[in-house]
Structure 1
């Protein structure tokens, strides 16, 4: 029978009621998150929104898509209202370490203490904290109308989002703030609460998963959706990427593949009835460069339906 699927609704990605908008694209590695996130960011910038695209994925190829270096410092793309940045774990670690050591030196003025703290900071845990702090900076910034997050594979993304809740709980469990850390801890607690309020507010934050119409990425995505639901962070949209075009149904080779994709999409619709389901059609060529990103955006984003998919 004839089926129709919505594109990604503009209302889910554009700021509403004068609020800033944060959009997270999550999902299994290799499903096309960077392309979808980049396309969305470019679309919003071309609608006149001051937009920041941030990648937290070390493997992301944002620079290749836009033909420019992407660093830890937000850089404007051409003469547009789009800015690009990436969270570089090493750069975040170096910056965070210097900030902590400067604070320790100002507070204690003891070189031995500074050296001891510096040694203690040389650990993987410090890098995680540093990346998280930089992530919070982008989450809570007030400069851009929209911030689009191109995230690392699912497990890392969930960890990053849930750290806000973990940090708040740790600070809340402190029986008392010491005189030396009282102001810092209180400020950090306020920061965690602001982050949680932002993540849980669907008018400010949109969690969107990108998947292929395949069992493994869908299963990983659905586990992540359940994890986020437990922290009252709802998923607003699922984008099924690389769906074959309707004409593939007449192909002996691709017809069965399209049928399997349709079955997966139908089941997704049934299991996630409160979530927008969008289709990103398979493109004729790899989406690289502004023009192809624009064309992909026309196929993926809008308020009209995609018609012509047939389930046999």
Structure 2
């Protein structure tokens, strides 16, 4: 989450630096103008929910939830709206047949409730799968689980 936020800050930081540049000739002034316009377009695209979608993928646990929430607030301050949250690797009840997994499932349920309450956004559940999401077959399976009927959460 921290790396993502830093990456998202770069266009804003660079845009600020470009606007502070001291230019000595027309050529450097033109380069500054082109660069500034490019970053302004990137920033505008990031802020436009019709062109960019931001979501956080979190494990239903305390630390990931808190970090993602902080990141969402930082994005909001920058004018970027988060559209939804993906709760990743959620244990499904039918697989929780021993005490260990029953306890983990209860913990997941607790944090799923906190995620919904804290973020006030749609929460998409991604169950824990038998294999990692690697290769087109697993990507297709994950996409179907996340977005049934090809409907993207908005």
TM value normalised by structure 1 = 0.45
Q: Is this contact kept in 2: 1:210–1:241, CA < 8 A?
A: yes
Q: Of 20, 39, 42, which residue of structure 2 is paired with 1:195?
A: 42
Q: Shift of the alpha carbon at 1:297? A: 2.1
Distance 1:281 1:209, change over 3 A: same
Alignment CA distance shift 1:160-1:246 (3 Å): same
* Maintained 8 Å contact 1:248/1:258: no
Counterpart for residue 107 of structure 2: 260
Answer yes or no: is 1:213 the counterpart of 2:72: no
- Whichever structure has more helix as a proportion of its residues is 2
Q: Which runs of 5+ in 1 are unaligned?
A: 1-153, 305-312
- 2:128 is the alignment partner of 1:282: yes
In 2, the alpha carbon distance for the partners of 1:265 and 1:161 equals: 26
Partner of 1:170: 17
Residue 88 of structure 2: aligned partner: 241
In the other structure, the counterpart of 1:300 is 146
Which of the pair has the greater relative contact order for Cα pairs under 8 Å at 6+ separation?
A: 1
| In 2: Cα distance, 1:168 partner to 1:289 partner | 37
Give the paired residue count. Answer: 150
Q: Distance in 2 between matches of 1:224 and 1:245?
A: 27
* Separation in structure 1 between the aligned mates of residue 36 and residue 134 of structure 2, nearest angstrom: 42
The residue aligned with 1:228 is 75
CA positional deviation for 1:276: 2.0
Structure with more of its chain in strand, by fraction: 1
TM-score, structure 2 normalization: 0.87
Q: How far apart, in 2, do the equivalents of 1:178 and 1:161 lie? A: 31
Q: CA deviation at 1:284?
A: 1.8
Quote the RMSD (CA, aligned, Å): 1.9
For the pair shown, the structure with the greater C-alpha radius of gyration is 1
